[in-house]
């Protein structure tokens, strides 16, 4: 499938915001997310001739995005190990807004989950994708997708319950 410049612009315009939000959510870094958007679309346009046009393009692009995020996070991880001067990036505006919203505690707990759990939670609850679409994006069986979601939710419930107990004054616990 050869793509015209107009078609490439259309694909980018339709999908780039979703790719950016996914990258930002998973990396918590605006600059890293912007780099991932660029790298993702480079990969998308390189692989477009091999894309099966009979299938939806969005899950395919999300899969490329997730692979790009994973690669970038691995690179950052190893870079931080080898470079002692590597520091945390300042908090982005989006992260500050999310932090101030009423669901702050939930998102903190979601962000503390392992990347595989975070991916499933984000794709299902934030992007409202069906489990079959998520399984396709992550290139895993639907059963594995359901298991990851179940495990992630179970872990979230436990973390939220622990946080709730920690916030309850000890005088209330004893009666």
Dihedral sign, CA of 16, 18, 21, 23? Answer: negative
Q: Give the HSE-up count for residue 53: Cα atoms under 13 Å, Cβ half-sphere.
A: 6
Q: In the prediction, which pLDDT does 90 show?
A: 52
Q: What is the pTM of this model?
A: 0.53
Environment class of 156 (CB within 10 Å of its CB; exposed 0-12, middle 13-18, buried 19+):
middle
pLDDT tens across 66-110, in order? 989 888 877 765 555 444 433 445 555 554 444 454 456 777 788
Neighbours of 21 (CB within 10 A): 16
Distances (CA, A) of 6 to 3, 9, 46, 92, 119: 8, 5, 16, 32, 31
pLDDT for res 144: 95
Predicted pLDDT of residue 42: 93
pLDDT in tens, 33-71: 999 999 999 999 999 888 888 999 999 999 999 989 888
Q: What pLDDT does residue 80 have? A: 53
Domains of the chain and any CATH numbers: 1-100 (1.10.1740.10), 102-169 (1.10.10.10)
């Amino acid at each position: 499938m050869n793509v015209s410049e107009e078609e490439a612009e259309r694909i980018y315009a339709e999908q780039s915001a979703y790719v950016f939000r996914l990258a930002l959510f998973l990396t918590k870094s605006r600059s890293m997310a912007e780099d991932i958007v660029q790298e993702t679309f480079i990969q998308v346009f390189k692989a477009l001739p091999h894309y099966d046009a009979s299938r939806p393009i969005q899950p395919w692009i999300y899969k490329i995005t997730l692979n790009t995020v994973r690669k970038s996070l691995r690179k950052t991880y190893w870079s931080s190990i080898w470079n002692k001067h590597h520091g945390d990036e300042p908090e982005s505006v989006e992260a500050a807004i999310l932090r101030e919203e009423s669901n702050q505690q939930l998102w903190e707990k979601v962000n503390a989950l392992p990347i595989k759990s975070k991916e499933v939670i984000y794709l299902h609850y934030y992007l409202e994708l069906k489990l079959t679409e998520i399984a396709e994006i992550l290139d895993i069986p639907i059963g594995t997708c359901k298991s990851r979601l179940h495990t992630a939710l179970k872990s979230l419930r436990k973390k939220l319950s622990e946080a709730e107990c920690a916030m309850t004054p000890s005088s209330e616990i004893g009666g």
